[in-house]
Structure 1
């Protein structure tokens, strides 16, 4: 998926020299069929993310995983938990293990705890990536219209080149997934193919 090259409205941010992979909220709540946020077809996104993680490791690039976690009384969830009551599944004392990652991080890979949609909101992610010289953030995970979109948008705000891998993201419906990818590609990020991202991360 590529943006409207040559358009007066939309350009490309392109790839820098030092990418990092940020896997957003790819946890059991979304990937298991009985999860509170179960997606209809999470399998391809999980498989694509696994492929990207292996490429990043082989290329010596950072891999960051995000999870959502709240205090038992949701004191740190603010109004987000009121808007989305199912977020109680991510409270520390919640049953089901829904906040567990669907893929296993590699040794030394950062697992970042967040409370809101963007992986940058109220976290140390930007500082951590800047300290490592990262200039490009490859975004995968769930959901495309929510935490992936927010993370990619904030990546641009923080001075990174966001690259959203369309095969490595998923949402509640295919239409919602595709609509948000089109809008991200038009304004906030480059939406790229899995093959392109693997080549950049593994090279």
Structure 2
């Protein structure tokens, strides 16, 4: 059965000075038939490849991207004489390093004090980079208050009581109370420990 052949390559310019024409064609097998295209050319259209342009910016800041550069065919067309078979665009990979990211928040630390108002903290760090880099924008530490209740403390001593006897020895006493502050803590008031044994 009949079918069209592939297009031939463009012919040389019909004139090496001034305007001319180039042609290419394809044919029908089994019975003939020709289709052709013609276009103008100037001074022979002997093209030359220009210099490569600068590489453009990478398409990604991390995780792998592409950058490219191009060059043009001067006084001709890509694929024709002087520019045949040469590439006009070049690509290469860039920024293949892993992207920065925050790891998970740590657990809350112990409160800085047992009563009277303290601080707890938790933190996180930036993996594959530094805080402030893309992927690590945000705080690296969080704080919250804790143990805000008042601390247990002794009240002032009360007055001495009257003596239990007017003669032959008696006893008088005084007392103080422990204010627990925040009942939820059930903390005891500070007190002296038991005396140690006498040294040798």
Please, what TM-score do these two structures have when normalized by structure 2?
Answer: 0.13
Could you say which structure has the greater relative contact order, defined with CA pairs below 8 angstroms and 6 or more residues apart? Answer: 1
Which structure features the higher share of strand residues? 2
Please, what TM-score do these two structures have when normalized by structure 1?
Answer: 0.13
Structure showing greater Rg: 2
